[in-house]
């Protein structure tokens, strides 16, 4: 399955850096294509979106010409939600489904988030809350110059996540794999397992050691993703 194009969506505030090493690690199995959201990296001059719908329309417009014959989607945390909605929009546009949708570190979209809501906090409280969650370098959150640019982007990402409301719509028709950290307080194994309800295709759940950002510290994730990409269809649907 070396020709499959794997589009990777970042967590809130994240960029393509997390996925750059995957290009070499997965080279025999996939053409890894990190997705860059507005407001960062090569799109730093663009205003970040604050709602899921315009963000998805923006990304789909750029991704459709790149899909090729075979593609897969991967996303972590907010990226999992975005990858799912991108898959939904592509289906609405008549595109073939992804060979695999891999969703990591995010509860299923039909499960409501619980307070506190972070994106409405003051800058100081928001930065402190994000620092407690981890995933964002402390040196960035403590640097006033960097923070002045980064905070609006991060806040917009949180607003996308926290204002999201699942719509009543048909399930996907593709394999879905849910990746969970065994100590993740934001997306428990049960909550990740609920992704099984988003597809009529096969579903599989994988659990890794670690908290919400287990993705950074678990080489086993790449091994699992390699297996899921190589099969193209994940094993039997779990009950």
Domain chopping of the chain, boundaries: 4-112+168-231
Helix-helix angle 52-63:78-92, to 10 degrees: 60
Q: Is 123 helix (H, G, I), strand (E, B) or coil?
A: helix
CATH fold of 4-112+168-231: Rossmann fold (3.40.50)
pLDDT tens-digit map of 76-113: 999 999 999 999 999 999 999 999 999 999 999 999 88
- The conformation of residue 96, written as its DSSP 8-state character, comes to P
- The conformation of residue 184, written as its DSSP 8-state character, comes to -
Q: Tell me, yes or no, if 77 is annotated catalytic.
A: yes
Binned at pLDDT 50, 70 and 90, residue 236 comes out as very low
Residues 77, 114, 149, 230: which is the catalytic one?
77
Q: H or E stretch including 164? A: none
The pLDDT value given to residue 2? 56
Residues in the chain: 239
Q: Tell me, yes or no, if 230 is annotated catalytic.
A: no
Dist CA 77 CA 75 (whole Å): 7
Dist CA 150 CA 21 (whole Å): 23
CA atoms within 13 A on the CB side of 194: 12
In 3D space, the residue among 76, 67, 71, 84 whose CA is nearest the CA of residue 176 turns out to be: 84
pLDDT tens-digit map of 46-72: 999 999 999 999 999 999 999 988 999
User: Alpha helix locations (H) across the chain?
Assistant: 20-25, 52-63, 78-92, 123-133, 138-141, 144-162, 189-193, 219-231
Average pLDDT, the chain: 89
Residues 29, 49, 76, 212: which is the catalytic one?
212
The token duo for 28 is: 């025999």
The pLDDT value given to residue 114? 75
pLDDT tens-digit map of 160-172: 999 999 988 899 9
Q: Whose structure tokens read 């205003």?
A: 47
pLDDT tens-digit map of 204-226: 999 999 999 998 876 899 999 99
Q: What is the CA radius of gyration of the chain?
A: 17
pTM of the model: 0.91
The token duo for 43 is: 């799109």
Burial class (CB in 10 A: 0-12, 13-18, 19+), 226: middle
Neighbours of 84 (CB within 10 A): 26
Q: Is 169 helix (H, G, I), strand (E, B) or coil?
A: coil
Give the residues across from 103 on adjacent strands.
Answer: 75, 178
Neighbours of 38 (CB within 10 A): 18
Dist CA 21 CA 13 (whole Å): 19
Question: End-to-end distance of the chain based on CA atoms, in angstroms?
Answer: 28
Q: Whose structure tokens read 């409301």?
A: 165
């Amino acid at each position: 399955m070396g020709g499959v194009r794997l589009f990777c969506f970042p967590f809130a505030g994240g960029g393509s850096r997390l996925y750059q090493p995957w290009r070499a690690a997965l080279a025999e199995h996939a053409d890894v294509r990190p997705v860059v959201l507005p407001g960062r990296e090569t799109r730093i001059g663009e205003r970040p979106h604050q709602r899921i719908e315009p963000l998805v329309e923006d990304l789909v417009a750029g991704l459709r010409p790149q899909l090729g014959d075979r593609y897969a989607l991967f996303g972590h945390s907010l990226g999992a939600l975005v990858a799912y909605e991108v898959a939904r929009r592509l289906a609405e546009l008549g595109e073939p489904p992804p060979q695999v949708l891999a969703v990591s570190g995010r509860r299923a979209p039909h499960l409501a988030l619980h307070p506190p809501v972070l994106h409405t906090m003051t800058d100081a409280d928001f930065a402190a809350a994000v620092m407690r969650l981890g995933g964002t370098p402390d040196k960035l959150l403590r640097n006033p110059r960097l923070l002045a640019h980064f905070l609006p982007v991060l806040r917009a990402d949180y607003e996308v996540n926290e204002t999201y409301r699942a719509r009543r719509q048909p399930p996907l028709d593709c394999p879905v794999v849910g990746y969970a950290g065994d100590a993740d307080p934001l997306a428990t194994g049960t909550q990740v397992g609920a992704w099984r309800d988003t597809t009529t295709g096969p579903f599989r759940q994988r659990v890794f050691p670690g908290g919400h950002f287990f993705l950074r510290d678990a080489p086993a994730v790449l091994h699992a993703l390699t297996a899921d990409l190589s099969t193209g269809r994940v094993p039997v649907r779990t009950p």
